[in-house]
Chains A and B, each alone.
Chain A
Amino acid sequence: GDSVTQMEGPVTLSEEAFLTINCTYTATGYPSLFWYVQYPGEGLQLLLKATKADDKGSNKGFEATYRKETTSFHLEKGSVQVSDSAVYFCALSSSNTGKLIFGQGTTLQVKP
């Protein structure tokens, strides 16, 4: 079945460092890919998404490119801030039925 694998956390960075969180997927067909973020004590909110190969999603300085050849959707940010500290989830949807398959989540901690 479909699945998503994220890099193990936690990831600890200093402010203004470069961030990469790896995400790879297994799916039949052509899934849509998502990054969700969960701030402490809150629900999940969409960070960015891409619906077809080579699409780049971007938001709040974060970017991820849908790479079908490597089945990857890695999250990047050039300069992280303390306020980016959160849990990041990679997810896919292979049918538009309101079903998401999530990776296990990666905790990011940014220190001043």
Chain B
Amino acid sequence: NAGVTQTPKFQVLKTGQSMTLQCAQDMNHEYMSWYRQDPGMGLRLIHYSVGAGITDQGEVPNGYNVSRSTTEDFPLRLLSAAPSQTSVYFCASSYSGGGESGETQYFGPGTRLLVL
């Protein structure tokens, strides 16, 4: 299993440009989430999904869109990039059931985004 994969690893954008951060998982997890990591602020939830076709907003959703057309993929779209969106973005997935694997989130390696 590849686990959770993210592309690209690093991206530079100019203010106003749009782009899509890709996330895929091969563990058949129902739940997927996007977080951003900023110095001194831990990770903050942007959007999350509890299954294909179902998404909801997290703590910091403004400026980002998501969709979940398949169980495997959960892309994050930046509509019009701003310098405040400079951050490291992590995608995560988890199993919806209980037991030892329940609620444990598996993280991708991250995408480092710089907006000029």
Contact = CB atoms under 8 A, between A and B. Distances in A.
Interface string A30-58: 00101010000011111001010000000
A107 B56 CA distance: 31
Contact of A98 (B42, B50, B109): B50
**In which size bucket is the chain B interface?**
20 to 34
A85 B41 CA distance: 19
Nearest to B91: A43
B42 A97 contact: no
Contacts, number: 69
Interface residues of A, number: 23
Given A98-B48, A99-B45, A100-B45, A43 B40 contact: no
A46 B104 contact: yes
A101 B42 CA distance: 9
Interface string B70-109: 0000000000000000000010111010100011111111
Chain B interface secondary structure, helix, strand, loop or mixed?
strand
Contact of A43 (B41, B58, B102, B107): B107
A25 B52 CA distance: 31
Nearest to B104: A46
Interface in B31-68: 31-33, 35, 40-45, 48-50, 58
Contact of B102 (A4, A96, A104): A96
A47 to B, nearest CB: 11
A32 B94 CA distance: 14
Interface string A81-112: 00000000100010011111111110000000
A99 B42 contact: no
Interface of B: 4, 30-33, 35, 40-45, 48-50, 58, 90, 92-94, 96, 98, 102-110
Given A4-B42, A96-B98, 6 more contacts: A34-B104, A43-B90, A46-B105, A96-B96, A98-B30, A99-B58
